[in-house]
Amino acid sequence: MRNTILSIALTIFCFFTFSISAENSLGSVDSWLSNLQGGDFQKLIETGELSRELENGTPLTLLPTSENIDWTTDRKEGIDKIRDEMKRYFGIEGLFFVDEDHSNLTEEEVERLKIDVYNLTRGVSSLEGADYYSASRGHRHPLFYQFYRIEKAGDKERLTDPLVEIIPERDSFLVFQEDSTFGEDEYEITYNFRDPAISLTMKNTTSINYSFLPIAGKEKLYLHVEIIPVQAGYIFYGAALIEGRKIPIPGKNINDSLYNRIKALMEWFTRRLQTEI
């Protein structure tokens, strides 16, 4: 009888130990950031962000890493190829960590989370009014006055955000935006999904100017974003690259302007996470 009781107790103990220690399929933060050098990982966790300026030949050192072959292939055919083919470029990259506990989510909840996060990135119209801190003005300032999907180049008719219930492996659409610094422009946004990571790359389909100064010719500016849900929250990566020579702008640092866009996207994403998921 005593042996039977001990056996039942041991079975119950093992069951609860497994249940408590079991985690869902989301990875850990460090499994995606094994490439970080020195104390960068600790700095990211403590401060929430890292940044690097980019110029000719500078690798994208803050990109999250993955053993997923398809994800690596997407990179080689995407942002890595874009950078490699640029004869001269400049820009900036930023890496952010958003703290949120996902360890207790069931697999069904994890799948729903991926769809919700993916749809957040496709809700481009909500970027209207997104703001950033302007050092030159000394206060927060709108980044985009208008931002919405369009059917074809040159068309300003507003279309609804293309939300989904099943995440496609790859998709793209055009957007019109009125930027508070660079004026009215059009971009193509291309999405890739390699479970659980979401990436999107924005490519300008019109030339970009600051007043009378040319900033980037057609298809010369790329904004690349990656969002990866992990056990402890979200990894958010952004890189902005412009092919060509850096044009001095009176009273402005062009890399600061690019970083403002990356950070504004991260803050926009974080706010929507807090209010909609």
pLDDT by residue (tens digit) across 111-131? 999 999 999 999 999 999 888
The CA-based diameter of the chain, rounded to the nearest angstrom, is 90
pLDDT top residue among 59 and 168: 168
- Say what the pTM is: 0.86
What type of residue sits at position 12? I
Peptide bond just before 196 cis, omega within 30 deg? yes
Give the model's pLDDT for residue 256: 84
Question: What pLDDT is recorded for position 205?
Answer: 97
Is the pLDDT at 104 greater than 90, yes or no? yes
Find how far residue 71's CA is from the centre of its chain: 15
Copy the structure tokens of residue 16.
Answer: 């609860």
The secondary structure of residue 252, as a DSSP letter, is B
Coil, strand or helix: which one is 110?
helix
Is residue 1 pLDDT above 90, yes or no?
Answer: no
Query: What is the spatial distance between Cα 212 and Cα 207, in angstroms, rounded to a whole number?
Result: 12
pLDDT > 90? residue 276: no
Residue 132 has pLDDT above 90, yes or no: no
Buried b (16+ CB within 10 A) or exposed e, 221-243: bbbbbbbbbbbbbbbbbbbbbbb
> Which strands form 170-179's sheet, in the order they lie side by side?
49-55, 89-99, 233-243, 221-230, 197-204, 183-194, 170-179, 144-150
All residues at 6 or more sequence positions from 71 whose CB lies less than 8 Å from its CB, including other chains: 194, 197
Q: Identify the burial level of 256 via C-beta atoms within 10 angstroms of its C-beta, where 0-12 means exposed, 13-18 middle and 19 or more buried.
A: middle
40 vs 201: CA distance, rounded Å? 25
The model's pLDDT over 24-52, given as tens digits with 9 standing for 90+, comes to: 899 999 889 988 988 999 999 899 999 99
Distance CA 225, CA 235 (A): 10
Fold of 26-276: Alpha-D-Glucose-1,6-Bisphosphate; Chain A, domain 4 (3.30.530)
| Helix orientation angle between 107-122 and 254-276, rounded to the nearest 10 degrees | 130
Burial class (CB in 10 A: 0-12, 13-18, 19+), 157: exposed
pLDDT band at 12 (very low <50, low <70, confident <90, very high): very low
Read off the pLDDT of residues 213-256 as tens digits, 9 standing for 90 and up.
888 999 999 999 999 999 999 999 999 999 988 877 666 778 88
Separation between Cα atoms, residue 222 and residue 131, nearest integer Å: 20
Give CA–CA dist 87/157, Å, rounded. Answer: 36
The answer, yes or no, to whether residue 260 has pLDDT greater than 90, is: no
pLDDT value of position 253:
78
Strand partners, 241: 91, 222
| Per-residue pLDDT at 251 | 63
Do residues 127 and 147 lie in contact, with contact meaning Cβ atoms separated by under 8 Å? yes
DSSP conformation class of 148: E
Condensed to tens digits (0 to 9), the pLDDT of residues 156-201 reads 999 999 999 999 999 999 999 999 888 999 999 999 999 999 999 9
pLDDT of residue 133: 76
Give me the residue spans of the domains in the chain. Answer: 26-276
Asked if residues 241 and 54 have their Cβ atoms less than 8 Å apart, the reply is yes
Query: pLDDT value at position 213?
Result: 85
Mean pLDDT of 140-163: 94
pLDDT greater at residue 188 or residue 263: 188
